[in-house]
Chain A
Amino acid sequence: MDVKPLGNAIEGDLKTGTLEGQAFGLYANFRGNGNNDAYGGMTGLPLAFVAGIRSDDADKGYDESNTRIYKSRGDDYQYDANDTWLMQQYWSDHYRFIVDCNQLIYFADSLKLTDQPSLINVAEARFFRAYAYFDLVRTYGEVPLNLTASSNFGSGNIPKSAVSAIYNQIDVDLTYAATHLPTKNYWGDKYPGRLTNGAAKTLAAKTKLYRQDWAGALASCEEVIISGEYSLYNSYSEMFTEVGELCNESILEIQNYVNDNGSVAVFGSYTERAGIRGTGIFDQGWGWNTPSQALVNAYETGDPRKTATILFRGSTDGYGNTLPESLELPYWNRKTYGDPARAKKTNFRKAIWVNVRLLRYADVLLMAAEAANELGGEANTTKALGYLEQVRARARGNNATILPPVTTTVKSELRAAIKHERRVEFGMEFERFYDLVRWGDALQVLGPLGYTNRCRYYPIPNSVIQQSNGVITQNPEW
């Protein structure tokens, strides 16, 4: 009577590689599955909503009546704890992903695996767990800190932990990850773009920046800088095309893949959600999270990053096509745009093969600049100016008439210059909203759009609170 599955492995069948297989699963789930939107809450449309649309630099985008509610929720800060779609998915996918990480760590612990590949797998899990908690703590403040791999139903129903406790765990995980993750060379050509200790240090620097731990942030950044593993890519605009994927500047990307004839396609959902909503070759997606007028206005005259970030209605797409005047919106996201010729070749209309850049070396430089300026002192100010200039110089290219070097040594002026630089360097890259909040600028900048102080945190989904039977409580201001 005992019948085992045919052609499919079950627990105990696989003698080796199970841990690495599970680690690959983390990469897959981090990316999400664009076919059925599984795990879309990690880096799909929910990310575009919390980190993109909520900022002053991006709008909800294409106007669909049945999703217009997200315009008021995102652009007008009418947060809604009863949202059963995006923010529900954001919450539950993050916790699902955290449990995936917990399970890998638990599995390695229980088998007492100490070989180097296993330690790397554990480090990968810890990096991803830290990443997920960093998302959550930025979005909600206090959240439950679930570190168990328990298989009991309801085991994740635990009370919230303090923000500091969440950050402590992030520190522990990232320290471990920075110690055990290898360098880029270790992965070589077989696993390009796989996690490195540089990625762990970059993320660690960012979490420190959010806590105004300027010294810690600067130290982490400089470890990355000194390692020499990363450098700025020479062309800002090319970096966001297929050619620039996994370039020398890249630290972490969501990797999507479609082979030449479209028979193999592995991808997350973000690029399609953000793609142009048009017809024919411009039918590339849902048209969510589009550049705002404010972002268009933010660029200095002649800054080539403007056209590298934004596609303009009626202008060229860089691949020999012109965006039709009939498109509903004037500005579209170029960083998710794919070559229509490749779309035709693969038979995928949406640019689902485009990688999404999450961490890059320019961020390390600008974080270092910011931390150094805040620390103050002549040496640090010089450092800050130097790091800032590296980023501006790359953007400037050979055109000496644009983007003059910043020379001010006045702390507040330099701070303003760095803030401006972050905004235009990372346009449409999920930094702006959280930057405004951590700088304390959100009320001033976003207030006119409807933002109030309580909007720094999103309310926890009511469904989560209801089903927790009072264990998880709503954010105090909601």
Chain B
Amino acid sequence: MTKKKSIQLKGNYWKSIFLIGAFISIIPLSAFGQNTVSLSLENVSLTELFKAIEQKSNIRFSYLNQDIDTQKDITVSTKNEDIESVLQKVLQRKGYSYQRTGNTIAILKKNGVPTTNSKKISGLVKDEKGEPLIGATIKLKDTNIGTTTDVFGNFSLDNPTNVSLLEVSYIGYASNVYRITDKNNIQIVLEENSKSLNEVVVIGYGESSKRDLTGSIVKIAGNSIANRPNNNAVSSLQGKVPGLSIVNTGQMNQAPDVRIRGTVSLSKTSPLYVVDGIMSDNMDMVNTSEIESMEVLKDPSSLAIFGVRGANGVIIVTTKKGKSGRLIVNANSSVGLKTIADAPQMTDREGFMTLYNEQRFNNSLPLYQKYGLYDANTNWIDVIKEPSPTVYKANVSVAHGTDKNKFYMGINVNKEKGLILYEDFQKVGISVSDELTPTDFLKCGFGLNGYAASLPQYHDFTSALKSPPIVTPYNTTESNYNSLPAGLGSNDIENPLMSVQARKYTSVATEYNFVPNFFFELKFFKKLTFRTNYYVNVYTKQQRDYTPLSQVYNMETSAVEVKNDKTAVSQFSNLDLRFQQEYLLTYKEVFGKNNITLLGGLTTDYQNYKQSSASVKQKDSGVENAIPNDPRWWYVGVFPYGDQTSYWAGSDQYEKKTLSFLFRSLYNYDGKYLFNASFRRDGSSAISPSHRFQNFWAVGGAWVLTEEEFLKSTDFFDNIKLKASVGQLGNQYTGSNYRYLYYPVYTNSTQAVFGDNVVNALSLSYQPDKNLRWETVTSYEGGVESDMLKAKLHVEANYYQRKTDDLLTTITDRTTGILYAMNAGSIRVSGVELQGAYNDKILNNQLNYTVSANISTMSNKVLSVWKAGESYIGGSVGQNKTEAGYPISRFYGYEVEGIYQTKSEITNGLDVSALGTPQPGDLKFKDISGVDGTPDGKVDSYDQTTIGNPTPKFTYGFSGNINYKGFDLGIEFQGVYGNKVWRAWGNEGNGVNTYNFREARLGRWTGLNTSNWEPRESTTSGWNSINSSYFIEDGSYLRIRNVELGYAVPPGFSKKMEISNLRLYVNVQNLKTWKQNSGFTPEAGGSALSSGIDYGGYPIPSIFSAGFNLTF
């Protein structure tokens, strides 16, 4: 590029930057120049002069000692004189000249010949496994001269100024500097970043060396989770990050329940996701295979910069980008099969008959007469489960880059079947990015993440667990589904096979999410960076549903029963548009031993959501008038089948704005004393004008002991950092009913009826509190990080405490029935996180292994709710109680101490009349308290107590990896301990219908001392369904979360195939779970006020997959 051209270009870019509304301030050049020097030297040699200049500036000299005059005859005295002019004078006198490249000055003999004549250097860059690193950046230190490694890891470049140091960097690996010794065969081995002390982590609105931070950020490399058969990459972090608790669901494309450092809000528990800068409630727009890295931010000093969105923690996701170097093509694919590992044991025909006969006998009903008619032995789980639930993943990416332009494009496809018949899911994703560096001071780029997905029709196993085994699912003689027997499910559950099969593929749902972004970055004098980011997040879902005609065959009446005689169609579509912009100014400065990075910025967020839905029914009943069961007809305007008088339509819409100012300073003195401070001021349209803006802040400090003289000399410690931080963060979630907290709307949900005249009523949806503010979370952290034994051993320990005040909540005033939105109540969470990792190489460095472990405790206490003595009741049967002084959403009920064995035990026992009249064989509840707080010989409401806590005492994970001669094996364990799960399935019926029994019920009480836990089989009293510890199961478990065995095909073989890297692997996820509860899975998530309830709906499968990673 000629100089003229470059100036023109510059002009255009300047113009465009002004156009986009950026502001620029000019700072005088001299203030930051490193081109002057003050020296006072007497009788020194040339090399001594060079060293003196090197000390006072960032100029580095390059020369060969043997070529340099060693006479100590130089005397210099300058004050703020230009370095080059100083040099010129001295060198000229001594018969040398010089050539400057960047900050490197090569000393030349007078004839212009370098002091050394070797110019070309070459070498090879490999990783620790000995595999070549493709696209690694090689640079002569302090120059702009550089290159990248080719597909075999080789590089070569000219070294005109004889720089002696090489800088080598590669994303995901620790950058390093090498002294150039051998010019032709430099062997460079890069270490993966995870072991690096200088790991660079992405923080909010920028990135930083982890070493310079005072908080706790855990970084996970994308390649460690890319091969997992999960749609949602967060699922793959389970057990890997201390303080991050993940409760998975087995349903495809459903987000797990993710909580960082416990529950601190009543309304929202999930963290904020920041995907390549855009803030979102999920990370659906990015495919697991496109992830470069993920960072989990937990502590106040990392989170305060996110202000009102930071309280629940932040997960930052960075997708892959192009790198300088040659074209790299990557292809990955895997195929897997899911299996249900722990299906609940329900009774078979024989067991069912035993228990049902006994139930009817105990209920004083005649024995059931229809076993002859219902002569099957059906396992309903087997009937509706998908025989081959496969998971298929593939992605191809192309990356290409030069110094000026880095391009990346990835396309991925996921195809998956659910565990139940006819659940099909497909997703195609794309990730594109391009980064342009037209001049030294300007960088700009754009990116696009997105996907299109075809969603499954979700089902679950709930009714399969309830349906009695005596029914044949499908009646081949009648060509119809059999109805469930009267009194055994016919009233409230459908034949499960009919549910999934008769309505298969009657929902066409697709969603699209595209997130384009672009940025401009201007650099002034290497120290000041101005960056603007623009993000658009477009999400839309389009759904069409069809209700087919349905009928069942009733074997008892030998008649076909019509369940639905009118087909219907409904259509739904929404559009969620978000626009986020950021203006950021970053300033980096080093003066002496002081290093400072300042960030200031402005960000706005705008969201506009719209949805509309409509439906229509067929005109007259009957098959001949039905809307056809073919997607072609599934439109609301269907003609001529649609009944125009049956049209229904509705809509929902809202918009939201936020405006935020942010500031952050990262300071360290000599890498020894660190100080971070951040501040954010957030304003939101949902809050009343008088409280619209609120401030959030954090400060953190750290002391790196190993930089002190007294520890510097020890070999044992590489790094010890003591750190502490404190801050105030916010929570802005208001729930879907309260989007305009400040403006309660008139609800249109009620109507008055006068004859056939339906008129809309008006009532305000709630009473607004004009003083409403966001929740405030005050958060503390203290901890220590240490690396020992030449970075082989890493240990980290943190203590945290988070307290939320002014909980945002809606409460109905029971004295008036008025609903109020208010700030009330307080919660505290605290815990300890420990993690350690050890890695080493043995057998001549051929075997590399890593072991790591982590454990986190979390203890949660509600300090107050809106009023003393009040509580929130949650859960399916009010089993979760949230009240001051206890853990959030604890299980609440009576403590079972056994079973009444005899009548006399009841008559001579405690007074239980407040609860009813038990019979022998019924549960016996404990007398724990009374009116005055002590046991009073009565069992009544005072005796309800904490019977379990859905929050674990601790969660943990440990793993091991070994690499040997191209083989690698990794195994990860993960578990939780000390939580309880409420068994909400397998409870026999609702008094109207009897459902199938859990197999454990075969051990019920049948007479004196036959059982002291499983009550008698009877449904005549509600006694045994009173909330009690009978429903509590231990939620602790330990799981082999992941096992992966891989083999890298040797380079010798792959080179012939023009392949730079080929790895084959097999992976097993959830190989084995050691659990205590009887449901499909011990994992039962939920919301803040209702959690830990096992509805028995859907298993978490084991997934066996095999695949390859291929790089050209």
Contact = CB atoms under 8 A, between A and B. Distances in A.
A binds B: yes
Contact of B755 (A155, A157, A189): A189
A27 B758 CA distance: 11
A115 interface: no
Interface residues of A, number: 83
A25 B754 contact: no
A326 to B, nearest CB: 7
Contact of B817 (A11, A66, A97, A255): A97
B439 interface: no
Contact of A463 (B740, B758, B764, B814): B814
B12 interface: no
Contact of B867 (A97, A257, A467): A467
A182 to B, nearest CB: 14
B750 A1 contact: no
B814 A64 contact: no
B934 interface: no
A467 B814 contact: yes
Summarize B's interface: helix, strand, loop or mixed.
loop
B813 interface: yes
Given A21-B760, A66-B1025, A9 B753 contact: no
B188 interface: no
Contacts of A80: 914
Contacts of A33: 749-750
Interface string A253-280: 0011101111110100000000001011
Given A154-B813, A464-B814, A279 B490 contact: yes
A6 B916 CA distance: 52
B745 A10 contact: yes
Contacts of B654: 5-6
Interface string B712-753: 000000000000000000000000000110011110111111
Interface stretch (A50-58, A191-199, A295-303, A397-405): A191-199
B645 A260 contact: yes
Interface string B1016-1052: 0001111001000000000000000000000000000
Contacts of A96: 816-818
A329 B764 CA distance: 44
Contacts of B120: none
Given A67-B991, A82-B914, A146-B816, A257 B758 contact: yes
Interface in B919-936: none
Interface stretch (B64-72, B398-406, B561-569, B890-898): B561-569
Contacts of B646: 261-263
A67 B1022 contact: yes
A99 interface: yes
DSSP class of A's interface residues: helix, strand, loop or mixed? loop
Interface in A142-188: 146, 150-151, 153-157, 187
Select the residue from A3, A191, A261, A263 with max chain B CB neighbours within 10 A: A3
B80 interface: no
B740 A5 contact: yes
Interface string A28-58: 1101010000100000000000000000000
Given A25-B750, A257-B753, A326-B486, A266 B744 contact: no
A275 B576 CA distance: 43
A52 B104 CA distance: 97
A24 interface: yes
Contacts of A380: none
Interface centre among A65, A256, A257 (most CB of B within 10 A): A65
A25 B763 contact: yes
Contact of B992 (A64, A93, A187): A64
A151 B818 contact: yes
Contacts of B565: 344
B743 A4 contact: yes
B1055 interface: no
A65 B1021 contact: yes
B760 A24 contact: yes
Contacts of A75: none
B1022 A27 contact: no
A155 B817 CA distance: 10
Interface in B622-669: 643, 645-648, 651, 653-657, 659
Contacts of B739: 5
Nearest to B764: A11
A63 B817 contact: no
Nearest to A84: B878
Contacts of A82: 914, 940-941
A22 to B, nearest CB: 6
Interface in A319-338: 326
Contact of B869 (A9, A255, A262, A467): A467
Contacts of B566: 261, 347
B22 interface: no
Contacts of A8: 745-746, 748
Interface string B566-604: 100000000000000000000000000000000000000
Nearest to A346: B566
Q: Considering residues B491, B740, B752, B1025, which has the most beta carbons from chain A within 10 angstroms of its beta carbon?
A: B752
A9 B754 contact: no
Contact of A14 (B749, B762, B818): B762
Given A7-B653, A8-B745, A92-B817, A279 B752 contact: no
Pairs of residues from A and B, 5 with the lowest C-beta to C-beta distance, nearest first: A96-B817, A156-B815, A21-B762, A64-B991, A25-B761
15 contacts: A1-B684, A3-B655, A21-B746, A27-B753, A28-B761, A33-B749, A65-B1021, A96-B818, A153-B811, A156-B814, A192-B755, A194-B754, A256-B753, A266-B758, A279-B486
Interface of A: 1-11, 13-14, 18, 21-22, 24-29, 31, 33, 38, 62-69, 72, 80, 82, 84, 92-93, 95-97, 99-100, 146, 150-151, 153-157, 187, 189-194, 246, 255-257, 259-264, 266, 277, 279-280, 283, 326, 344-345, 347, 463-464, 466-468
Given A7-B651, A18-B762, 5 more contacts: A3-B655, A3-B656, A5-B740, A156-B813, A257-B756
